[in-house]
Every structure is written in structure tokens, then in C-alpha cells.
Amino acid sequence: SQKIEQNSEALNIQEGKTATLTCNYTNYSPAYLQWYRQDPGRGPVFLLLIRENEKEKRKERLKVTFDTTLKQSLFHITASQPADSATYLCAQYSSASKIIFGSGTRLSIRP
Amino acid sequence: NAGVTQTPKFRVLKTGQSMTLLCAQDMNHEYMYWYRQDPGMGLRLIHYSVGEGTTAKGEVPDGYNVSRLKKQNFLLGLESAAPSQTSVYFCASSRQGSNQPQHFGDGTRLSIL
């Protein structure tokens, strides 16, 4: 069955540094990977989608890469700020209508 | 636009009681989903719907029923609540297609005593 794993439960970094979060998938090569942000007490919010034929996607301070050989996506936040502290989820569609989410990485940015 | 609205936001039930969680979306989305989120388990799909009048089972459907009588509403029912159903429940909607982002409500926090 398809699995999607986020290696770190939690990541703590200093403000201003680049945060890098990892998402690995197995048993299936998704055409797309999505990244979401979830704040405490709120639902996930969509951030970025990357297609399998895109090596890299950027949006402001966010960058996502997609390596189909390693079956891995990396999510980077450059010049991190305390306001970036949240849980970040990666996700892939397991069929045309169903999506599988990773369990998330809780990112904390300390001033 | 409100997006996806879930009611209620909080609820405490006793074991064996039944209840219905309501999800409403105003984006004219075809697809709607119910998830539960437990610590360390991530989001798990309970049931989903690809259109008005249609529903399908997800990963953890036992103990739940759903209905989608109107396109904008998706109801989740707990037939006989059990402590194992204590969780945070999220509803989401999306356009049709396998690259579409999902739009989430802010969840219903349900405790079963």
C-alpha cells in the first residue's frame, strides 16, 4: 500500500536559518505532491503543489523540491521567522479522489 | 466567502450516544471528505464523497455513517459513540481532479466519556 512518511516529528531552529523538512513516499510514484501548514486548533492550509516533472517550485520564502529517484520531497523555508512555527504536512493523491497525508513535522523557530 | 464551516466546534458525549457533525462549503466543490486527526497518527480518511448523492469508505469508516444530500453539505454521523472515537474531526472539500488542493474547516473536537 502507499505510504508517505515525514522523518522528523519536530524540528527546532534559530530564527533566520533555513528550515528543511523531509517527505518520503513508497510503493507509488505520485504525479503531484502537496504541502500544507497547520496551526494549533486550525485546519491544514494548502501551501504548494509540485509536479513530478518539476524539480523545484518556489513561493516567496518557500521552496519545494521533488526527487523521483530518491522518492523524496524537501520543503525549505528560508530566512525563517517565529511566525513560521507550525506543523507542516506533505500529501499525495492515492487515487483520483483520495489523498494520503504524512503525520507532519512540528517546526519551532526560536528568536 | 466562508470556505468550509464545521459545526459544532466542540462536543462532549457519553458512550453510546449518537450525534451528527455538519460540514458546509460555499465554493461549489464536487469532492468532500471527513478525516479524524489523532496525536502521532496524522489525518486519516473516514469517508468521502465525489458528488451529491454519492459516498465512499475511506481508511477508517467503522462506526461512522455519512450523507451528501446537497452538494454543499456533508454530514458525519456517529451511530453509538465509543471512547475510541475521541478525536478532532476535520472536513475538507476540493475541486475534481488529482492535483487539486483540499480546503479544510477548523475542526470539531469531540470527547467521548
Residues of A in contact with B102 (CB under 8 A): 44, 46, 91, 99
Digit-coded pLDDT (tens) for B10-23: 999 999 999 999 99
User: At CA B21, angle to CA B16 and CA B22, rounded to 5?
Assistant: 160
Asked if A98 contacts B37 with a C-beta cutoff of 8 angstroms, the reply is no
User: pLDDT tens-digit profile of B65-93?
Assistant: 999 999 999 999 999 999 999 999 999 99
CB-facing half-sphere around the CA of A77: CA atoms within 13 A: 26
The number of distinct structural domains making up chain A is 1
Sign of the C-alpha dihedral computed for residues A90, A75, B5 and B41 taken in this order: positive
Q: Which chain A positions have a beta carbon within 8 Å of B4's beta carbon?
A: 43
Residue A19 is part of which domain span? 3-110
Structure letter (DSSP) for residue A54: -
Rounded Cα distance between A99 and A65, Å, is 19
Domain boundaries, chain B: 4-112
- Of B90, B98, B106, which has the smallest distance from its Cβ to A32's Cβ? B98
Q: Which helix (H) or strand (E) holds A21?
A: strand A19-26
CATH number of B4-112: 2.60.40.10
Instruction: Tell whether omega for the bond before B8 is within 30 degrees of 0, i.e. cis.
Output: yes
How far B29 CA lies from chain A's nearest CA (Å)? Answer: 12
The enclosing domain of A80 has a CATH number of 2.60.40.10
CA dist A105 and B51 (Å) reads: 32
- Are B92 and B5 in contact by the 8 Å Cβ rule? The answer is no
Residuewise pLDDT in 10s, chain A (111 residues): 667 889 778 999 999 999 999 999 876 677 788 999 999 999 999 999 998 888 899 999 999 999 888 889 999 999 999 999 999 999 988 776 788 899 999 999 999
Dump strand ranges (E) for B1-113: 4-7, 10-13, 19-25, 31-38, 42-51, 54-57, 64-67, 73-78, 87-94, 103-104, 108-112
